[in-house]
Amino acid sequence: MSVFMDLNLTFSADRSNMQQIIDTAAYLGFSTVAVNYTFEPSIKKKETVPSPKPVEDLIDQLPIVQGRSRPIRVLNRLTLVLSELSHFRPNLTEYANFDLLAVQPTTEKLFHAACTQLEVDVISVAMTEKLPFFFKRAPVNVALERGLAFEVSYTAAIRDATMRRYTIANAVSLVQACKGKNVLVSSAAMKPQELRGPYDIINLCSLMGLSDEEAKRSVSSICRSLLLHAETRKAASGVISTKKSCGEKPQQQEAPISRNTGEGDSGEGCAPAAKRLKSQLTD
Amino acid sequence: MTYAGLPVVIVSRCSGPKVVEVKMSSKTLLNCETSSLRHPNNRLSAHLEQLPFNYRATVLLPDCGCAPSQLDETLRSFQSFYLVRNLPLYELLDEHLGRGSVCGLSYKTRIDEDNCAFLKANGHLCLSLDKDSYELLGIEGKACKPKSSRYVVSVDLNDRSMAPGRPRYQRLFSGLTSRLPLKMEFLLAPASGDPDALQPLLSRYEWSRHTPEVSCRLLTHLSRPDPLTCDLRSYDPFDLLEWLGAVQADISCDNAADSFLSSLACPHPSAQSSQSSFLLEVRGLLLPQNIMTLVKQLSHFLERPLSPPWAAVTVHGFMDNLHVHERHFYTLVLFPDHAYSLHLATPAS
């Protein structure tokens, strides 16, 4: 099991509010959090993708996670609310500033495209309204194979009773469609009071139909695998390994990266595949 | 067969400790064992060894006519412990350390998030590792449930094959130095009572010494089970444990009609105590031998005149200990005739 993470804290310009949210998250036991910047692209308005604020500007000092001796890690995440497929421009350089990329589809066609084509890490499902489409097994299975995760945010359930009904109903149908695999549970907290501890979230997941194991994975292992997935997405689309051949030019070979594990599979005659050391990002 | 209305299984009926298991939930059983300290077959020490690292012990003495100064002294005589920072794991394999003379556990590591290490007094080194660390280390271990997420590597340092220079020792040493160089904060205590056993480590790393904190609280007019009408052993174990927990946590057991905070109450028949009661607490790194010393002192204390009719000891183990989910604390109720009743939770098999 890996450390507990909350990959959706809503960004607000109020510095003291962000400080309080991150302090609360560290107090509750989350070792990593991601600040979420929401962006709704459209061709007409010509808006630019927001750039993430550096952590030093966001808060004064990173608090120590309760019960451990390391400070909390703060990452940046971008959520694109899509209403048309043409709005999504893949491999934009601005996306590289963010550690995690999420997309929120609003129609069935977009959901299908997000599961099968789009190069993202998380598919965020709007919890606060009745979904206009149903989850179909086929695109969901493709998304699972690609290593994407489906996100469920629980804060709406805390705020309002009607939202609670919608959240639970949507979450239950999502869990049924993906059979409990690759479900990411996060808050979309705007205030520190809306955060809940990791074990409370695990208990809450039982309402959504997730088993104990799956619930624990949704706040720990799946978050970690998503960060690895984002790293491979940002990296070059291949692995280059060189082998010196006695004074001749070094031979270069490209090999496709495996999405799920992030390790390159080299071709013949290259250095054998080795387990790479845990990088800073995914510690 | 029922015990206070709950379904039970009687485990042993013949001469020896009488054990009764009461079902708490689908995964846990409450094990209630009654026996005597003088009985040759009593398994109290074996039970105490199951929780090798404890951080807190509380003693409740109801209707105590005299102040328990002797017990206070016993608690203060427990060994001090050391917090060593940034200790690399391979140092625990050091032959100068003396196998079995030092015991301790990693501090500020969560059992379900990080890698944890435990060095027991019998010379066993247990590492609880996540999947990546286990695969990096390369030593054989057992997978915990749920499978493939947590692995436990247990090494007996007293075994001949683990002597320095042997291949198994070399493999573990090279694993902890090159492949998985883990550094953690450790809480260590000398298992044999000799403080010099830790000297090799303390001279090389940053450390701080701590002594156990002892506190004593006086309780007046404590509402407790009436000793005149009913023997404590006949009370329902759940009600008794609930009430003991409420007293130790300083929760009011009046069950007043206008109080919405707590509806806990003392099990019936109960009476209000006319004498004062004492609640002693010690916090630190407590080993099973410390608890055994406390139990023996308590049984002597209960023999004296003006002593309470019974004494309850609750020992809390570190939450990030191995086998933590079911049995991270136990309660021992002692009686003047050297009889005892031990309540602990065990996993349902």
| Complex-level ipTM | 0.72
Could you give phi then psi for residue B141, rounded to 5 degrees? Answer: -150, 180
Same domain, B188 and B281: no
Test A1 with B136 for CB contact under 8 angstroms.
no
The pLDDT assigned to B333 comes to 93
Same domain, B268 and B312: yes
Size of interface A-B (CB pairs under 8 A): 27
Same domain, B303 and B225: yes
Confidence check: pLDDT of A249 > 50: no
pLDDT band at B246 (very low <50, low <70, confident <90, very high): very high
What's the CA gap between A189 and A186, in Å, rounded?
9
Of B210, B229, B250, the one marking the end of a domain is: B210
Test B149 with A1 for CB contact under 8 angstroms.
yes
Nearest CA in chain B to A216: B112
What's the CA gap between A109 and A132, in Å, rounded?
11
Same domain, B178 and B276: no
What's the CA gap between B255 and B270, in Å, rounded?
13
The pLDDT assigned to A55 comes to 82
Q: At what angle do helices A137-146 and A108-116 cross, to 10 degrees?
A: 30
Confidence check: pLDDT of B92 > 70: yes
Q: What is the mean pLDDT of residues B2-26?
A: 60
Confidence check: pLDDT of B7 > 60: no
The pLDDT assigned to A178 comes to 92
- Interface contact B146, partner A, CB < 8 A: yes
Among B113, B135, B185, select the one facing A4 at the smallest CB separation: B113
What's the CA gap between A67 and B185, in Å, rounded?
12
pLDDT tens digit string along A135-149? 999 999 999 999 999
Cβ–Cβ under 8 Å, residues B342 and B329:
no
Same domain, B74 and B218: yes
- Interface contact B91, partner A, CB < 8 A: no
Residue spans per domain, chain A? 4-232
Nearest CA in chain B to A66: B108
The pLDDT assigned to A258 comes to 40
Confidence check: pLDDT of A252 > 60: no
Test A68 with B114 for CB contact under 8 angstroms.
yes
Among A2, A4, A213, select the one facing B146 at the smallest CB separation: A213
Looking at every residue in chain A, the average pLDDT score rounds to 83
What's the CA gap between B96 and B110, in Å, rounded?
29
Residue B9 Cα distances to B13, B32, B237, angstroms: 11, 11, 15
DSSP label at B132? H
Looking at every residue in chain B, the average pLDDT score rounds to 85
The pLDDT assigned to A49 comes to 79
Chain A contacts of B132, Cβ < 8 Å? 278
The pLDDT assigned to A44 comes to 66
Q: Of A103-112, B74-83, B144-153, B248-257, where does mean pLDDT reach its minimum?
A: B144-153
Nearest CA in chain A to B183: A69
Nearest CA in chain A to B111: A1
Q: Of A107-116, B76-85, B101-110, B142-151, where does mean pLDDT reach its minimum?
A: B142-151
Number of domains in chain B: 2
The pLDDT assigned to B117 comes to 93
Among B108, B132, B146, select the one facing A69 at the smallest CB separation: B108
Test A2 with B113 for CB contact under 8 angstroms.
yes
Chain A contacts of B178, Cβ < 8 Å? none
Percent of chain B residues topping a pLDDT of 90: 38
Same domain, B278 and B163: no
Same domain, B62 and B88: no
Q: What is the mean pLDDT of residues A92-104?
A: 88
pLDDT tens digit string along A22-80? 999 999 999 999 999 998 887 666 677 788 888 888 888 899 998 888 899 999 999 99
Same domain, B228 and B122: no
What's the CA gap between B252 and B262, in Å, rounded?
7
What's the CA gap between A73 and A252, in Å, rounded?
37
pLDDT tens digit string along A188-204? 999 999 999 999 999 99
B86 min Cα distance to partner chain A (Å): 11
Q: At what angle do helices A221-234 and A212-219 cross, to 10 degrees?
A: 40
Residue range(s) defining the domain that contains residue B161:
81-210
Report CA A16 to chain centroid distance, whole Å.
Answer: 25
Of B150, B176, B210, the one marking the end of a domain is: B210
What's the CA gap between B278 and A32, in Å, rounded?
44
Of B183, B210, B237, the one marking the end of a domain is: B210
Same domain, B44 and B108: no
Could you give phi then psi for residue B234, rounded to 5 degrees? Answer: -90, 0
What's the CA gap between B189 and B206, in Å, rounded?
15
- Interface contact A66, partner B, CB < 8 A: no
pLDDT band at B1 (very low <50, low <70, confident <90, very high): very low
Burial bucket for residue B287 (CB in 10 Å: 0-12, 13-18, 19+): buried
Chain A interface disruption, residue of B114, B148, B183, most A CBs within 10 A: B114
Q: Class of A4-232 per CATH? A: alpha beta
DSSP label at B235? S
Chain B contacts of A220, Cβ < 8 Å? 113
Same domain, B132 and B275: no
pLDDT tens digit string along A145-163? 999 999 999 998 888 899 9
Residue B61 Cα distances to B65, B158, B248, B264, angstroms: 10, 41, 11, 20
Task: Give which of A105, A97, A190 is closest to A148, Cα–Cα.
Answer: A105
Percent of chain A residues topping a pLDDT of 70: 81
